[in-house]
Amino acid sequence: MITEINIISGFLGAGKTTFLKKIIPHIEGKAAIIENEFGDTGIDGDVIGNGVPLREISAGCICCSVADDLRSTIKELVYEYGPDHIFIEPSGVGALSEIIKVCRNMSETGEFIINISRIITIVDAGAFEDCLESFGSFYQDQIKSAHIIFLSHISGLSIHEIDSTICKLELINPYAVIYKDDWNAMNGDQILGIVDSCNALKYPDSDHLNLLSAEQMLSTFCVQNPKVHSECELGNIPGFLKDKSNGEIYRVKGIVTLNDCRLIHFNFTPYDFSWEYLEEESEPRIVIIGKNLNITNIANYFSLRKMEGLL
């Protein structure tokens, strides 16, 4: 049996988890998920659901310190569940070319048969220019290694701005299929139809880029058991997180309890903030990723009770 490896990449907050949530229910055959978080605490495992086997790899990025964990996790899923598809959602600061290399090396050993089927990168169109300037070749690697590129957060952008982003993406990766329409408005079956139509295309191997590791650029910490919030207080979170006195905050994911006892899951980037109710019980916690973080100030804002840090 061949296990198809599908990699859903993208920088922090681009929309990888949303993309997965849409397509997983429409996948033919058995599916499993490997999710990597930059830091010790994951959020998305509580959000994806659907009864799909999910394994989380934390405390690093797949390209660096936990490549062995990725290999062993793939083996575990193959032997235990025999999935037709394994979806790998790397950390938003993972080097996609290195993840591909790990998977190809596993395939070449012949221990079992895996095939890299889909390499998809989600690009936040609104944050594209800033990420390109701030993270350079590290950010470009996710674009250059992709077979298919989907744009996210295009609402509010002009046609000219979207076309300009696409032109720059084509310069970085002239071989990828770039889908410019709003995939978030589609159902998972429609998205898979687009992806499958590109599967017959062949792409050259990515050139190796000199990358600066994520750990040298970013830091992360987790707020465990944050304070109870009102819906009004939720509306104040983006303004606080954008305040430069708190550092450069690139991504925040959280599960918090509202004062009516309901749980919500929220996502923040400097360009987008959204939240939704959770149906299942989950442990409240907030994960913050950024640079030069004012940990004390952020912790005090969320009424920190317990903090776990990784610098």
Answering whether pTM is above 0.85, one says: no
- What's the average model confidence in pLDDT over 11-27? 90
- The pLDDT tens digits for 66-121 are 677 888 899 899 889 999 999 999 876 667 888 888 888 887 776 668 888 889 99
Confidence of residue 49 (pLDDT cuts 50, 70, 90): low
- Cβ-based neighbour number of residue 129 at 10 Å: 13
Bigger pLDDT: 43 or 32?
Answer: 32
Strands (E), 52-196: 54-57, 85-89, 114-124, 148-152, 177-179
Q: How far from the centroid of its chain's Cα atoms is residue 23's Cα?
A: 15
Domain boundaries, the chain: 3-197, 218-310
Report residue 303 as tokens: 């009424």
Query: 3-197 and 218-310: same fold?
Result: no
Give the single-character DSSP code of 258. B
- 295: nearest Cα among 233, 191, 223, 189: 223
Report residue 137 as tokens: 């070749």
Q: How far apart are CA 176 and CA 198, in angstroms?
A: 9
- Average pLDDT of the chain is 81
- The pLDDT tens digits for 64-75 are 556 778 888 998
- The pLDDT tens digits for 233-286 are 899 999 999 999 999 888 888 899 999 999 999 988 888 899 999 888 888 989
CATH 1.20.950.20 fits 218-310, yes or no: no
Q: Can you give the pLDDT at residue 69?
A: 81
- 145: nearest Cα among 103, 178, 173: 173
- What's the average model confidence in pLDDT over 37-57? 63
Please give the CATH topology (third level) of the domain spanning 3-197.
Answer: Rossmann fold (3.40.50)
230-239 LR contacts (CB < 8 Å, sep 24+): 230/258, 230/259, 231/258, 234/264, 234/266, 234/275, 237/266, 237/268, 237/273, 238/268, 238/273
- The pLDDT tens digits for 180-200 are 888 988 888 888 888 876 654
Secondary element (H or E) of residue 75: helix 67-81
Q: What percent of the chain is predicted at pLDDT more than 90?
A: 32
- The pLDDT tens digits for 219-232 are 778 888 899 999 88
Q: Can you give the pLDDT at residue 59?
A: 54
Report residue 17 as tokens: 């988890």
